[in-house]
A = this chain, B = another copy of it.
């Protein structure tokens, strides 16, 4: 089968390296971003430039969106000069942004009515995963669409799983971000308690890594947390946004998420206190702050 023309909308820290990988894998690309700079870099590598999401959609058979948030996807798909105005029958829209599962379902319903295919396919693995093509991709949609799109997804990621119907990819991504965020918060409280009680945090990381408490967060970030190194990595402001989606999904699907809600507030506090660009493991600094306040005695 000849490679389809791919439209790529959203050339940020994730989208740009993904688009470059597709170019390097031999796909013809039409790109669009509200910022013209990253477009130019891709055009210099032989991508074509679209004038709008609508224009991109009309010139490609597969359209990938990689955008910051639910409203951005809504705007790019349903808005003026949006994808909907240009997409051809039989084309496929793959939204790889992390957004609300309900928006993913709304796009899929629209697709069914308008005669195109849709997948939600949020990723994890960060900019490094995007550059190396080692992203995990959580997909929601029809099996046939998934199978047809696999060659493209395999250029971008390694661990690619069809999780269920449309929206299931976003749901599983939300589950992932809940568990990672809550684990970070638990580890932050554990390390703060340990240090304040006089135990070397590196020792705590070592012991906890050997038992039931072992986890990816400890493995990837434990020692750096113990040293107070919060260089990103995955930023607090993004995890905050992802937990906002999770909390909102909890409202949509009728689930009380008490622990997630607290951790969501903690990430909000990170952003409000000017620490939105810290790695998400930097939540430790918030718990540490809270532990110091008791030193300020009333006069």
Q: Which B residues lie within 8 Å of A182 (CB)?
A: 182-183, 185-186, 189, 259
B159 touches A178 (CB 8 A): no
B165/A255 in contact, CB under 8 A: no
Q: With an 8 A cutoff between CB atoms, is A231 at the interface?
A: no
Is A148 engaged at the interface, CB distance under 8 Å to the other chain? no
Find out whether the CB atom of A294 lies under 8 angstroms from the CB atom of B211. Answer: no
**Contacts A163-B203, A172-B199 hold; do A214 and B215 have CB atoms under 8 A apart?**
yes
Across the interface, which residues of B come within 8 angstroms of A172, CB to CB?
A: 194, 199, 203-204, 207-208
Structural contact, A215 and B183, CB atoms closer than 8 A:
yes
| Contact partner, A262, options B181, B194, B258, Cβ 8 Å | B258
Interface residues of A in 253-299 (CB under 8 A from B): 253-260, 262-263, 266, 287, 290-291, 293-295
Q: Which of B138, B167, B198, B253 contacts A164 (CB 8 A)?
A: B198
Interface residues of A in 185-225 (CB under 8 A from B): 185-187, 189-194, 196-200, 203-204, 206-208, 210-217, 220
Whether a CB of chain B sits under 8 angstroms from the CB of A176 is: yes
CB of A28 to closest CB in B, whole Å: 31
A175 within 8 A of B: yes
A246 within 8 A of B: yes
Q: Chain B's nearest CB lies how many Å from the CB of A240?
A: 15
A238 at the interface (CB under 8 A from B): no
A138: chain B residues at CB < 8 Å are: 207
Residue of B nearest to A263 (CB): B259
Measured CA separation A95–B293 after assembly (Å): 33
* A168 on interface, CB distance cutoff 8 Å: yes
Cα distance A174–B199 in the bound complex, in angstroms? 12
Contact assessment for B193 and A175 in the assembled complex, using a CB-CB cutoff below 8 Å: yes
Question: What is the CA–CA distance of A125 and B168 in the complex, to the nearest angstrom?
Answer: 36
22 A-B contact pairs sorted by A residue (CB < 8 Å): A124-B212, A125-B211, A163-B203, A163-B204, A164-B198, A172-B204, A172-B208, A174-B190, A175-B193, A178-B186, A179-B183, A180-B213, A182-B186, A186-B186, A189-B260, A193-B250, A193-B253, A215-B216, A215-B217, A255-B290, A258-B290, A259-B259
Q: A residues near B, CB below 8 A?
A: 101, 124-125, 136, 138, 159, 161, 163-165, 167-168, 171-172, 174-176, 178-183, 185-187, 189-194, 196-200, 203-204, 206-208, 210-217, 220, 246, 249-250, 252-260, 262-263, 266, 287, 290-291, 293-295
- Besides A174-B190, A212-B217, A256-B287, 12 more A-B contacts (Cβ < 8 Å) are A159-B210, A161-B203, A161-B207, A163-B204, A163-B207, A164-B199, A168-B203, A175-B190, A175-B194, A176-B208, A178-B193, A182-B185
